[in-house]
Amino acid sequence: MMAKPSSRRKKATSAAEINSKSLSNSANEDISVEENPSTATITVSAVEVEELTDEEQSDRLHLERRVERAVFEAGKALMELRDRRLYRSTHSTFEEYCKDRFGFQRRHPYRLIEASAVFDNLMKMCPNGTQTENESSDAENYPIGTQTENKEMCPIGTQILPTSERQVRPITKLEPQQQWEVWQTAVEEAGGKVPSARVVGDVVQRIMERTKAPNPYFVGEVCQILAKDNPELRGKGGCWAIVSAVNDFSCSMRMWDGEYAVGLQHLKSYDYLPAECEQMQQISDRISRVYSDSLEETVKNLLQSLGKVNRPYLTAVEEKLLTLLESEYGKIP
């Protein structure tokens, strides 16, 4: 025989239903019966947010500055390690030491060193309390009137400083005053927040076009082609090329099938070391000697794929394939 459901359970369920209905009715009491519920106004009590005290505000600013400085302190430490050659007891080169000790690849330690210098410049150029007691403003290093002009654009408590190396990479080659002006403009365009590297790069590009600032690239530098919004570079997006000439607002770039004039906005440096640039120059020369429009399509595709490698060397297999093509077409120098 099936057991009869407990009356206690039934009563509990009924009580829950009654309670649910009571809550629903209670909630509806706040809405006028004469109004359409979909257009009724519900009053929500505002929660008062406690303001920071002067001491808390000061602590917040101090802690924010510590966060901002963190990555740039690494750059300062790396610079001292490099300049004093404190790695010499275990490694023959600074690059090998950084890779083994910190896992840094090629250009990264140098980027951090360059970024720390930019950060210091931004700190010094903004005169309203951004230095600690142990830091000097070095005001004598800047033109007369600079501090006053910067004070008007950088009021107390509103300084926005970079928080990553990537954000300042586009301005590492500019003069201190230019770095500060570009950064402040980028902050404004970012709505008073820390700007991205793209925003900073766009500001640099506009200033270069307006003031004819020096082209930041150099002959022999290896860059990636950014073909977006440029039909003349169709099929070349993502390829590497080598700067063969530096113009005002463009560079002549050598690729596997010839040279192209490429605007600065369509270039992105790989930041290779000098030795790596020389190695890529040799690879470029080898590919160019073999490549021609009369080659079989599969051979052309192979050579073009070598023109898209995003590293400053060929793998063992790639080296064998290129050597084979050089031998096949009699292009070995």
pLDDT, position 1: 47
Q: What's the token pair of residue 85?
A: 């050659």
pLDDT, position 8: 46
pLDDT, position 177: 86
pLDDT, position 41: 65
pTM, to two decimals: 0.47
pLDDT, position 241: 93
Q: Which residues of the chain have pLDDT under 50?
A: 1-2, 4-34, 128-153, 155-157
pLDDT, position 128: 47
pLDDT, position 54: 81
Residue-range domain boundaries for the chain: 59-131+139-181, 222-328
pLDDT, position 242: 94
Q: What's the token pair of residue 110?
A: 């140098």
Condensed to tens digits (0 to 9), the pLDDT of residues 280-308 reads 999 999 998 888 878 888 998 898 889 88
